[in-house]
Structure 1
């Protein structure tokens, strides 16, 4: 088995290694990963690995080193389970490795890993969905966009659920990220919307965000003082504390809600900051899923998420170029590019072990 380990206290440090595959116990299956995506999500998983528990999904057994989860597609290659046959392909949450062992239990729409160490972790990450054999392109788009755009849509749903906190403008930090651009696009869909959409991004990515056509205005981080001082919501995809400080200071009490979503700028994140206006609150997508499941019944929010991400994926070829890397060791370079902020927003990264 090949895998990538990440230093849990210095997440830009990685190493590839080979370890012996564990024999299966009764009820377990072995999955061989066919492909997985690397996105800004994976940086957040590493940066928030202790706080939210992402290191717990796939324990490495090596002190100080963890395995970052990824989204992708795998095939059952060995089974001692009555519910999963060899050859079944599953989409879901995997380690950055070429194989994984799970303990599947049948559930609505697919399977759940009921391994003891995952029992207290969010259900959405323990679910695996059967997928038919299709084109590589379909697998790649699903792995890259579905997790990111699911978060985008759940953010949109949550904002709707809270009447946009009475905001006249919604400001999206790191609007060039795929989660950010997804939220901008969903926010732009209602014909009767009463808010403006303001995208914040770096100077090098401004033209890209403008070209997507979802924002009413696109500003760079050094133009925060140009943002109108009207009732606002800030949705922060990057965790950049300097940007957050500047925006909170500028808007003050005009800021009605500040939402923290991602940590792609983990190296500019300060966990304790005294800010003007409301205290930032962390948005945890699985909580919104759980709320909607309770309100709407099982399966409905999943249907809406699927329809939503496919709407944006339909024209992804016009703004995203998929780059495929082969071999687990090849994951280190694009992961490092994401961690250090060097990855282009127009690129989608796929690893084929």
Structure 2
């Protein structure tokens, strides 16, 4: 490609995740051998984007995927779709559409390696040490989980639902650590209720939702939890029942309440991430088990070894198809699409997500192209 173009990028202040800026620059357009140029068409924005950013410079290294060169500002990744507008790579053709992990930007230069019918991995050197699952790009024409009419739901569900699917599998794989009740905080979040959907009805196991008064009606209407309580109601639960805490809130005070209420009956504290929590868990002495961070790629690697990648994909695609069928039904109780256009809209959604101002049923998709 020899035509110059304007590259626009949305950058996020690392120490104030609701603060963003737009940066534009002219790009000469010429590709080196082994490069492709993608035009990013659309992406989803959820609380997971904020969670990724919150852990950006620590163990997950999310800011490292698309570096800005500015220590204070990061390039937030998002799951979405992009089209090839120029290519020097055999097997990656102009006009093809790919699903994957893209920066919030107008374009992205990539270096495809391990090109197959299914897609490719971005081989740009700085990504070689990062989690490989986030470096893979799926060719839509060959993706068994792809349906053009359901693109918006795939963007919203797939990255969250892999977390939900593998979290449910992690809990089952460990026999719920001996618990007979599972308490889930921030139960209105899509990842939380996706996990509840995957767990379904389990004999001898009670799934209890903790949520805000504002979201209580929504969570009750989901009908995927056995009991729904406001946060203040956690202390009414029986304290002598073996309990597993799955934390999507990151709230230190709520965690302390849970630990002190259940004491020795708390068998495991699983921290699954939070949109509002912008630091690691406080090292506060509490009775019961130490909170442990859940990270989906660890369980994916385990199941790839146990079952093989093909079987993992089959099981995931089957569960995801059932979930999307529920979410995409008109008037469904789970999700209402909120579609917007352009970078400014993305800035507003990010600010609202970080500030906790997004309605639990709303699911945000931003289209650029």
In the TM superposition, residue 344 of structure 1 has moved relative to its aligned partner by 0.8
- Whether the 8 Å contact between 1:187 and 1:197 is mirrored in structure 2 is no
Q: Deviations over 1:243-291 (max 9, x none)?
A: 1111111111111111111121215865322222100111110111111
* Residue in structure 2 matching 1:84, options 82, 92, 109: 92
Q: Tell me, yes or no, if structure 1 residue 333 matches structure 2 residue 357.
A: no
Q: Structure 2 CA distance, aligned partners of 1:84 and 1:164?
A: 44
Q: How does 1:158-307 map to 2 (within 5 A)?
A: 158-190=170-202, 193-229=203-239, 230-266=241-277, 270-307=281-318
Structure 2 residue 57 is matched with structure 1 residue 50: yes
| 1:11-69 residue CA offsets vs partner (Å, 9 max, x unmatched) | 12111121233642211111111110000110101111011100000011223100111
Matched residues in 1 for 2:293 and 2:211: separation? 20
Asked if 1:322 corresponds to 2:330, the answer is no
Counterpart in the other structure of 1:350: 365
Change (3 A) 1:188 1:168: same
Match of 2:103 in 1: 95
Consecutive unaligned residues in structure 2, runs of 5 or more: 1-6
Distance 2:116 2:295 in 1: 23
Q: Does 1:111 align with 2:120?
A: yes
Long gaps (5+) in structure 1: none
Q: Distance in 1 between the 2:231 and 2:343 partners?
A: 36
TM-aligned CA distance change 1:62 to 1:240, over 3 Å: same
1:15 corresponds in structure 2 to 21
Q: Distance in 1 between matches of 2:231 and 2:280?
A: 15
Q: Are 1:98 and 1:328, in contact at CA under 8 Å, matched by a contact in 2? A: no
Q: How many residues align?
A: 351
Question: Structure 1: how far apart are the matches of 2:301 and 2:173?
Answer: 14
Alignment TM-score, normalising by the size of structure 2: 0.91
Compared CA separation, residues 37 and 256, structure 1 to 2 (3 A): same
Q: Secondary structure at the match of 2:138?
A: strand
Q: 1:322, 1:137 → 2: CA distance?
A: 13
Q: Is this contact kept in 1: 2:66–2:77, CA < 8 A? A: yes
> Residue 266 of structure 1: SS of its match in structure 2?
coil
CA contact (8 A) 2:100 2:134 kept: yes
Secondary structure of the residue that 2:357 maps to in structure 1?
coil
**TM-aligned CA distance change 1:32 to 1:149, over 3 Å:** same
Label 1:25 to 1:176 Cα distance change in 2 as closer, same or farther (>3 A). Answer: same
